[in-house]
Amino acid sequence: MMQLAKALGVGSAEEVDPTRPLSLGRFELGTEASAEAHRILTGEHQPPELRWRTRAFETPLYWSVAHQTDGAGELFSIPSDYSGVLPTALEIALVRAIAAAPEADQAKILEGDVIVELGSPSVTKRFGELVEVVRRPLAGESILFGSCTQATIQTDVDTKLTETCLTCFGNSMRTSPLKFRFLELYRMIEARFIADVKARLLTRFDAQPGDALQEAVDALKSEMNQIRGLAENQKDAFEACWTVVDTMRSTNRFAAALFRKAQQNGLKGAKWETGAALIYQIRCAIVHAGQKDLIYEGFLDGDEVIEALLPAVERTALILVGIEVA
């Protein structure tokens, strides 16, 4: 609390008016931040655990993080050359960070170009690793760059968010054109295939060993079966992918061709199941070029489908590694 008072240039909480703006370093903060500063100085709120590391972003970013069992935390970053108004939640988090930081760290946090994590490492660590690879995408939009500010972390994130998944997600930010960005997100989903087959086998084996083994064998024979197995446990996410393409099927040739291909393959399942098939068929259209294949380059409007679909696919890929964003 003394660190915050010194940074604000005040001697006590009485010198901070919670109903007036607050000056902190180079920033003029709003009344919500003033009120939080007052609560910390009076002892009503305690400063959180803090960690920071160097990482520059092009724009201010803020995430509220809720772990399924370990509590809540926050992450934020402010560019060193940023001179605009900060989001309210980020202003409040900045006050908390300065209250928690040793004097030697306060100047660096206020200077910017760092990622600040507030709260227990068990809450923010894995999401912080994901944030490390986030940047403005070279193609399309990313839901983690400016549009989503809340993340819910599942207890199994440590086993699901592998180095391969982190690499694929980072590559998706640095890759263009759109079709190659889609492929990197697909690879992130693909990285979950074998782990999912194994988990399903172990879950069913004791009760139904024969059926469990046959299901695993069938899944390993077909990549479509593998992605369907993933989708079965995340139906809402894959149905959202179906919805995006379905809204375009009457005006977009590539979208219409994807649905025709699904029908030719005898797929007449639920929306989530068709959504999984559409994602798989887009992947195949990009990487295959056989005479019997759906070829991505044969459709001038293919990019329109992928651009519209990317946010839903990105959200799905994140859910599959234990992170849900909003």
Domain ranges, ordered by start, for the chain = 2-132, 174-321
- Better-predicted residue by pLDDT, 113 or 229: 113
Mean per-residue pLDDT for 237-244?
98
Residue with tokens 């819910």: 152
With contact defined as beta carbons under 8 Å apart, do 218 and 228 qualify? no
Per-residue confidence (pLDDT) for residue 270, from 0 to 100: 93
Task: Dig out the tokens for 244 from the structure.
Answer: 């995006």
In the predicted structure, residue 201 carries a pLDDT above the cut 80: no
Torsion of CA 134, 230, 65, 243, to 10 degrees: 80
To 5 degrees, how large is the angle CA 267–CA 292–CA 227? 40
Task: Dig out the tokens for 169 from the structure.
Answer: 């997600």
Confidence of residue 226 (pLDDT cuts 50, 70, 90): confident
Q: What does the pLDDT look like over 307-320, one tens digit per residue? A: 999 999 999 999 99
Smallest CA-to-CA distance from 96 within 51, 55, 126 is with: 51
Alpha-carbon span 241 to 279, nearest angstrom: 8
Query: How do beta strands 27-29 and 71-77 pair?
Result: unpaired
With contact defined as beta carbons under 8 Å apart, do 267 and 228 qualify? no
Beta strands in 50-130 (DSSP E): 50-54, 61-67, 71-77, 114-118
Confidence of residue 20 (pLDDT cuts 50, 70, 90): very high
Confidence of residue 203 (pLDDT cuts 50, 70, 90): low
Per-residue confidence (pLDDT) for residue 288, from 0 to 100: 86
Per-residue confidence (pLDDT) for residue 176, from 0 to 100: 97
Q: What does the pLDDT look like over 61-90, one tens digit per residue? A: 999 999 999 999 999 999 999 999 999 999
Q: What does the pLDDT look like over 109-151, one tens digit per residue? A: 999 999 999 999 999 999 999 999 999 999 999 999 977 999 9
Strand partners, 153: 67, 323
Put simply, whether the predicted model's pTM sits higher than 0.85 gets the answer yes
Alpha-carbon span 233 to 316, nearest angstrom: 11
